[in-house]
């Protein structure tokens, strides 16, 4: 695990880290305007920018709408007065009489009110050439500086009177809304209203909107930062987890966020599944590498002894250092070691083929008959061994007959080699749902828990010295497990020292569907 972790650490801090740094440098160079590197900052700036644009558009619309509405009301009032004046048969003389009446009334308290009205509304009388006309006398008719400036600023009174519309006029820094009415004798009456109040109201509204907009943008910025930090916390956890894994902690996983979105939860689940697969694959690869190294060492050790024996006898034979009797014994030893090496190579080849998981063409095989054949062979080799057989007729399994014979043969061979010749053996075959159970129980010395855990390892021998004398290489149980796995079955050992060994082999029944069907 340490080796795998260090490899991942080198991977995480090597080319990958260099590539990310290069991408960041290129991104910084390509960007003309500086911008935040964090996703949280970019989200905040985007939200604030969109809200600012919306506030500007809304503010402009409200200011324009308010200004247009107020101007519309002023225009309606001016046009109403214009229409009323146009509907009466007024001339310059009538206007002079109206001014006389206003002057008479000015002396009384009611006259002051009339004068104030005349002063509040701008009222000018122009002749037919557009010049100021002094048709009114008295205090009301006296033109002030404001009216003279307004009369001068009027662009074209005749055109404005002909159009019947209102116009905005600027005079001495002030703004006015005016209409022009033409009397029957050609005299033009100009009526206007000041717009300074309207402009002040619009200006105050603008200030209020700016202040409110700034406050809203500040609140949105703080809210966006808080929400982004909360929502992006799972991503920061993923970065932390990835960093821990790159440093060798392969068991690290991404915690499920309580406030994460559905997409983040799906990403976390997918990454955890991927990390689990990576850890399993790396652990399996490390274990397979260790097993391969151990296998090569064990195979070399097993082959070295018979090869050294064969080479030694041949050297003695070539140098003529053997007597005739010793030559015969040397040849027998060379032949025995050659047979032993041949058996070892055959077992290695068989194990390699089984571990490649060959595609089997399963067919119904009578397991009862195979067990009886194996028992007959054992009885022929050890007639004195008590054998109890509990095997019903016609129990069939799905499998390959040669491999099934090898399973039974290896299990019985272990009993023949590693248990006393007079110890009882029991073989049972029973159907269980969709499987068939083969149970072989001996009364031998049994195995310790440590030896039982390693019983299926290659070249493992609980009693190495005795196994070497019998020619065993410790591959029999490995071949059994590989063959059972190829049949989609299972094998298990039950044993304690001094109570014997029970091997349980489960195989698919012929009554079930073929594996992979």
Residue pLDDT, tens place only, 378-397: 888 888 989 888 888 888 89
Q: Where are the domains of the chain?
A: 88-194, 242-356, 361-508
Question: Residue 515's pLDDT is what?
Answer: 47
Question: Residue 475's pLDDT is what?
Answer: 74
Question: Residue 25's pLDDT is what?
Answer: 47
Question: Residue 87's pLDDT is what?
Answer: 66
The set of long-range contacts for 473-479, using a CB threshold of 8 Å and a minimum separation of 24, is 473/302, 473/343, 473/344, 473/347, 474/298, 475/344, 475/347, 475/348, 475/351, 476/347, 476/410, 476/413, 476/414, 477/410, 477/414, 478/351, 479/347, 479/350, 479/351, 479/354, 479/406, 479/410
Residue pLDDT, tens place only, 6-38: 444 444 444 434 444 444 444 444 444 456 667
CATH of domain 88-194: 3.30.450
Question: Residue 215's pLDDT is what?
Answer: 92
Q: Which residues pair with 426 in a beta bridge?
A: 388, 441
- Kindly state the tokens that stand for 156: 């074209």
Question: Residue 472's pLDDT is what?
Answer: 57
Question: Residue 260's pLDDT is what?
Answer: 59
User: Would you say 191 and 123 are in contact if contact means Cβ atoms under 8 Å apart?
Assistant: yes
Architecture of domain 361-508: 2-Layer Sandwich (3.30)
CATH of domain 242-356: 1.10.287.130
The crossing angle, in degrees rounded to 10, of helices 109-120 and 92-106 is 130
Question: Residue 402's pLDDT is what?
Answer: 85
Question: Residue 99's pLDDT is what?
Answer: 57
Question: Residue 467's pLDDT is what?
Answer: 47
Q: Which residues pair with 122 in a beta bridge?
A: 192
pTM over 0.75? The answer is no
Question: Residue 10's pLDDT is what?
Answer: 40
Q: Report, as ranges of residue numbers, the positions in the chain whose pLDDT lies below 70.
A: 1-37, 85-121, 123, 127-128, 130, 133-144, 257-261, 291-292, 295, 298, 301-302, 347, 351-360, 458-474, 512-517
- Strands 435-442 and 174-182, bridge-based pairing: unpaired
């Amino acid at each position: 695990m340490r080796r795998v972790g260090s490899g991942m650490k080198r991977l995480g801090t090597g080319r990958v880290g260099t590539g990310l740094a290069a991408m960041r440098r290129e991104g910084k160079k390509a960007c003309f305007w500086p911008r935040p590197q964090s996703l949280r900052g970019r989200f905040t700036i985007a939200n604030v920018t969109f809200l600012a644009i919306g506030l500007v558009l809304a503010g402009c619309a409200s200011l324009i709408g308010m200004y247009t509405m107020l101007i519309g009301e002023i225009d309606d009032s001016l046009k109403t007065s214009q229409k009323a004046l146009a509907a009466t048969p007024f001339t310059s003389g009538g206007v002079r009489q109206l001014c006389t009446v206003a002057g008479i009334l000015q002396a009384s308290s009611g006259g002051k009110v009339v004068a104030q009205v005349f002063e509040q509304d701008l009222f000018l009388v122009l002749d037919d050439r557009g010049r100021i006309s002094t048709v009114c006398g008295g205090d009301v008719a006296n033109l002030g500086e404001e009216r003279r400036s307004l009369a001068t600023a009027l662009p074209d009174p005749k055109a404005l009177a002909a159009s019947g519309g209102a116009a905005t006029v600027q005079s001495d820094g002030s703004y006015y809304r005016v209409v022009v009415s033409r009397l029957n004798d050609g005299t033009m009456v100009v009526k206007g209203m000041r717009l300074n109040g309207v402009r002040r109201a619009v200006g105050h509204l603008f200030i209020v909107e700016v202040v409110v907009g700034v406050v809203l943008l500040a609140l949105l910025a703080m809210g966006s930062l808080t929400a982004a930090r909360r929502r992006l916390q799972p991503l920061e956890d993923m970065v932390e987890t990835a960093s821990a894994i790159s440093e060798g902690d392969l068991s690290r996983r991404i915690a499920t966020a309580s406030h994460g979105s559905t997409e983040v939860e799906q990403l976390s689940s997918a990454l955890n599944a991927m990390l689990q697969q990576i850890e399993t694959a790396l652990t399996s690869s490390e274990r397979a590498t260790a097993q391969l190294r151990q296998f090569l060492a064990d195979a070399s050790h097993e082959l070295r002894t018979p090869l050294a024996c064969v080479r030694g006898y041949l050297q003695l034979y070539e140098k003529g250092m053997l007597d005739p009797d010793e030559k015969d014994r040397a040849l027998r030893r060379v032949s025995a070691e050659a047979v032993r090496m041949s058996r070892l190579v055959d077992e290695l080849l068989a194990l390699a083929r089984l571990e490649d998981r060959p595609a089997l063409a399963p067919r119904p095989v009578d397991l009862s008959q195979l067990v009886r054949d194996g028992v007959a062979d054992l009885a022929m080799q050890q007639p004195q061994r008590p054998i109890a057989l509990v095997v019903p007729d016609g129990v069939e399994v799905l499998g390959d007959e040669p491999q099934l014979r090898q399973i039974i043969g290896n299990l019985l061979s272990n009993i023949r080699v590693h248990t006393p010749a007079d110890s009882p053996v029991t073989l049972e075959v029973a159907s269980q749902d969709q499987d068939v159970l083969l149970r072989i129980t001996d009364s031998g010395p049994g195995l310790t828990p440590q030896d039982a855990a390693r019983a299926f390892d290659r070249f493992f021998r609980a009693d190495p010295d005795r196994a070497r004398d019998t020619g065993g290489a410790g591959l029999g149980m490995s071949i059994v497990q590989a063959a059972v796995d190829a049949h989609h079955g299972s094998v298990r050992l039950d044993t304690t020292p001094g109570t014997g060994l029970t091997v349980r082999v489960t195989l698919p029944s012929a009554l079930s569907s073929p594996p992979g069907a």
